[in-house]
Structure 1
Amino acid sequence: MRIRLCMAGLLLVAGCTGEIGERTGDGTTKTPLPPPVNIPPVNIACTHVGLGKDYQVGPEKEFETIGDVPFESLAAGDTVRIFWRPEAYHEKLMIGGQGTAEQPIRVCGVPGPRGELPVIDGEDATTRPELDFPFDGHQVRGLVAVGHKHDDDYELDPTHIVIEGFEIRNASPPYRFTDKSGNVVPYADNAAGIYVERGHHVTIRGCEVHENANGLFIGTAGGDILTRDVLIESNYIHDNGSLDSYNQHNVYNEASNVIYQFNRFGRTRGDNGNNIKERSAGVVIRYNWIEDGAHLIDLVDAQEAPDLIDLPSFHETFIYGNVLLRTGYQPSMIHYGGDSGQTEYYRKGTLHFFANTVFVRNEAYEDYNRSAVFEASTNDEQIRAVNNVFASTLEPTDIRAVTFMGDRDDVAAGLLFLAGNWVTKGWSAFDPVPGPKVIGKVDGLDSSIVGTELPFSSVDSHDYRPLNGAALIGAGAALDGLPTIDFQYVVHQKATPRNDGSTITIGAFGL
């Protein structure tokens, strides 16, 4: 059975379709729901199918190095195919130009004989002198850059850019590179493996991104140069960040309409920084594997693009079909609200969190170690958590607690509504140890299915599908108003169609 989850009566959503700011018959604004997933991810075929030029890079190809390709001149239908070789390409890229939906500008990697991805390495990278960066000062911000070419009309945005099939690494201090003028310079502290200054319809697919300051950094401002419509699909993003700072992350975005699907997110470097940090509107996180980081997901206020707050989709976020893993003691897994201190600009909306599997490994906790799944900044943020698995290795105790709502600055805020969930015995609404001031509210915990044994096929094998006969099967709430759940994650960076039979199963996996 394909699951269509809508939440009539429970969630305050207007329908299952719609664009940002679409007007209903009574003149009110309807918040959109995420677009459907058309197909599960497939192996990337780095073939030239556009009507433009086929640029082939690598040993015995027309272009021996990446820097030989005129990236500053790419146009709709062009493909740059970079072939695997045993040694890495120590070269920087800058992609601009205007593709179309039918004829994108595509830069892709042709794998090696055993599926090895071509490596683009920031250490001692060189820069093609003719590359046209938005400003030359942006060269320190990334290894693979997407942005407005400085010599283009200011209003002309890069559009329909596809980057897929690479291993991208080492855009980070202390590494240095040679810029377009021939100067050897260090990367910025906030450099990224893939840096998007601005663009519309940017796709990042099938890449491994690691050992950068930020793995991905997308969006730098609002207004006319707001980045829109980003798809992050089937990537492995891990070990990005800083050993000295919490300000760099595996992913850090501020854009409009950002979809994550079928990705594997590993730990951040040194466990510093967040796995996914989002200041964007229209965020959809579905069918991913997300493991550790300071926060696994940090959804906060806009910073460089304050006009995002005026979009209805800034106040509605969708997280579904994911596996979310926390090992040991760290901050809350999911933070929703803001971090600037200017609460009038916070999310002040609804986080729709459904059909996820959340697992906390708490067997090594010491006294007064604790974990929280959610953290909301104010009581204007609400979380609707439906048909999720919330499990831990051991039953928590008061002094080794696992809670639904955590606190920040000794205040536990936010409104959490629970329905149709499976919960390990001993989880609590708030920290049972006196201390934080509780101003938030948790409803529906008493109606959860409470278990004492883990309901998974095999924790040791990281198989979080329902165990045969588990109470998850067929026990989900009948809902209305949310998107269709078409797929479930497959280890790793893949998916398979989800099947629940005649009734809904709790968690990220069907039968």
Structure 2
Amino acid sequence: MTGLLFAAGCTGEIGGTTTDGAPTGGARTRPPPVVNIPPVHIDCAHVGSGKDHQVGPGKEFEAIGDVPLESLVAGDTVRIFWRPEGYHEKIMIGGQGTAEQPIRICGVPGPGGELPVIDGEDATTRPELDFPFDGHQPRGLVIVGHKHDDPYELAPSHITIEGLEIRNASPPFRFTDKAGEVVSYARNAAGIFVERGDHVTIRACEVRENANGLFVGTGGRELLTTNVLIESNYIHDNGDLTGDNQHNVYNEASNVVYQFNRFGPTRNGNGNNIKERSAGVVIRYNWIEDGAHLVDLVDAQEATDLVALPSFHETFIYGNVLLRNGYGPSLIHYGGDSGETEYYRKGTLHFFSNTVFVRNDTYEDYQRSEVFEASTNDERIDARNNVFASSREPTELRAITFLGDRDEVAAGIIALAGNWIMKGWVALDPVPGAKVVGRVDGLEGSIIGVDPPFVSAADLDFTPAAGAPLLGAGASLDGLPAVEHQYVPHQQAGARNDGPALTIGAFGL
């Protein structure tokens, strides 16, 4: 769906009012409602008022490059039919759809549900494609962006990409560009690269083995991408082969909603799973597994005008499973990483109704995990009604702490309420070294347990066990959005039932 929106004033525009008429300068931002409830069946039927472009064996177009992609308009559908071999072709979309008549690029699955494959290895490029600049060609395999020949202020809008497997937009692979030259992908290439757009939906795709899986946004103001929905995808094994600068997802936009996705480990463990420089970030009902940081919420870099938006300073992470397999950096980083602190988050991360599980069986002495890492004391983390558990009880030399340090300074304010916490998890690192300027409040009021209160931690079944102390033990959400759904492995969802009182964690009764 393309109808997920923040209240006015929390979009890419600065100023305005919220839905209740309050000025945005002091109003709390609110996540949009859930519109789509998985399991999402991608019915790649043509339903728009435009043209039905069918691609595949025996269809009107044998190749994607035969379709006039540069001329797509509202209501057009490009239906890519599965075939045993992948489509080694690049895609560039820059047209303007509408909410009722989006431009859709969708995959028609094979007989066993196989997704059509868009493969960057030795991909070809339709010569007529109109890229923002020809220098953008190495940046992605599937590209959404401003057509160079369009008026500069005209951005792509209401673009939907769904039901495709997208892979191999990464060095050392090469492709043939629109001029017929064989060139390499950029080191920061992406499976899906959004240079600019409004209402971009990426749904039910598998995105793997790219430098970045998704890369959304290249700048602010007229270049700012707004209203992005990332829904029911399987995104995994993306990242730089040798470094940490590429990620499963890397965005700098306004209003980015993640829901019902499965995020697997990054390639070779390099890079973050989700790295966000965006305003209006909502991460709900996902399965997020490994990466350097599982979620890295940092400062605006190119689109520094995002800092003026109230939604840049409030982030919502709820209803997720966050899984760390073995030793790694902090799970959640909140604040900034550039050193230019005026662009840091300086707000509140609302982290509630999540299940956090750390597999620490193989930890050695002085290998320690951190749940949260904040950049300054201007970053606040409100953590309520979460489960924090591990496969074994931490020790002083193999600690799991709530507040970690960055550059040997432990900053940030964490407020805990209504959480279930495994015995041995501590507020701060018990090994001396870091300078502590932040604090952790509320740990003493948590429910402390010895064994993970799940049906089967070994099988990663994190639903509450019968009679678990999670049931009905949650704290008030104090005006935060209701947690009405829960993730069902994998890329599906179920209605959540808490019973007469709130249950702790990502799953209800």
- TM-score, normalization by structure 1: 0.96
2:31 is the counterpart of 1:34:
yes
Question: For residue 309 of structure 1, what is the aligned residue in structure 2?
Answer: 307
Shift in alpha-carbon separation, 1:212–1:440, aligned structure 2, 3 A: same
388, 393, 402: which is aligned to 1:404?
402
Contact 1:252-1:277 at 8 Å conserved across structures: yes
Post-superposition offset of 1:18: 6.5
334, 337, 344: which is aligned to 2:335?
337
Post-superposition offset of 1:462: 1.5
SS in structure 2 of the partner of residue 198 of structure 1 = coil
Distance 1:448 1:18 in 2: 37
Contact 1:19-1:31 at 8 Å conserved across structures: no
141, 144, 147: which is aligned to 2:142?
144
Post-superposition offset of 1:486: 1.4
Distance 1:106 1:435 in 2: 54
Distance 1:39 1:184 in 2: 41
Post-superposition offset of 1:31: 2.8
Question: For residue 175 of structure 2, what is the aligned residue in structure 1?
Answer: 177
Distance 2:8 2:263 in 1: 30
Relative contact order: is structure 1 or structure 2 higher (C-alpha 8 Å, sep ≥ 6)?
1
Q: Render the CA deviation track for 1:279-302: whole Å, top value 9, x for unaligned.
A: 000000000000000000000001
392, 412, 420: which is aligned to 1:422?
420
Question: For residue 348 of structure 2, what is the aligned residue in structure 1?
Answer: 350
Distance 1:25 1:87 in 2: 54
Question: For residue 3 of structure 2, what is the aligned residue in structure 1?
Answer: none
Shift in alpha-carbon separation, 1:312–1:359, aligned structure 2, 3 A: same
Return 461-470 or 318-327, whichever deviates more: 461-470
Distance 2:211 2:84 in 1: 25
Shift in alpha-carbon separation, 1:44–1:140, aligned structure 2, 3 A: same
Q: Render the CA deviation track for 1:246-283: whole Å, top value 9, x for unaligned.
A: 00000000000000000000000010100000000000
198, 203, 218: which is aligned to 1:220?
218
2:357 is the counterpart of 1:359:
yes
2:240 is the counterpart of 1:242:
yes
Question: For residue 291 of structure 2, what is the aligned residue in structure 1?
Answer: 293
- TM-score, normalization by structure 2: 0.96
Matched AA of 2:285:
Y
Post-superposition offset of 1:29: 3.1
Q: Percent identity?
A: 75
253, 265, 268: which is aligned to 1:267?
265
Contact 2:24-2:310 at 8 Å conserved across structures: no
Return 427-436 or 26-35, whichever deviates more: 26-35
Matched AA of 2:432:
P
Distance 1:352 1:430 in 2: 20
Return 482-491 or 100-109, whichever deviates more: 482-491
Distance 1:198 1:510 in 2: 39
Shift in alpha-carbon separation, 1:428–1:170, aligned structure 2, 3 A: same
Distance 1:484 1:367 in 2: 41
Matched AA of 1:277:
K
Q: Render the CA deviation track for 1:446-491: whole Å, top value 9, x for unaligned.
A: 0000000110111222210001111001100123211121100000
Post-superposition offset of 1:242: 1.1
430, 444, 447: which is aligned to 2:442?
444
Question: For residue 119 of structure 2, what is the aligned residue in structure 1?
Answer: 121
Distance 2:502 2:300 in 1: 36
SS in structure 2 of the partner of residue 485 of structure 1 = coil
Matched AA of 1:30:
A
Contact 1:157-1:200 at 8 Å conserved across structures: yes
Shift in alpha-carbon separation, 1:136–1:299, aligned structure 2, 3 A: same
2:40 is the counterpart of 1:46:
no
Shift in alpha-carbon separation, 1:138–1:27, aligned structure 2, 3 A: closer
Distance 1:503 1:19 in 2: 34
Shift in alpha-carbon separation, 1:284–1:358, aligned structure 2, 3 A: same
Q: Render the CA deviation track for 1:145-189: whole Å, top value 9, x for unaligned.
A: 000000101010000000000000000000000000000000000
SS in structure 1 of the partner of residue 210 of structure 2 = coil
Question: For residue 74 of structure 2, what is the aligned residue in structure 1?
Answer: 76
62, 85, 88: which is aligned to 1:87?
85
Q: How many residues align?
A: 496
Q: Which runs of 5+ in 2 are unaligned?
A: 1-5
Question: For residue 252 of structure 2, what is the aligned residue in structure 1?
Answer: 254
Matched AA of 2:127:
P
Shift in alpha-carbon separation, 1:27–1:398, aligned structure 2, 3 A: closer
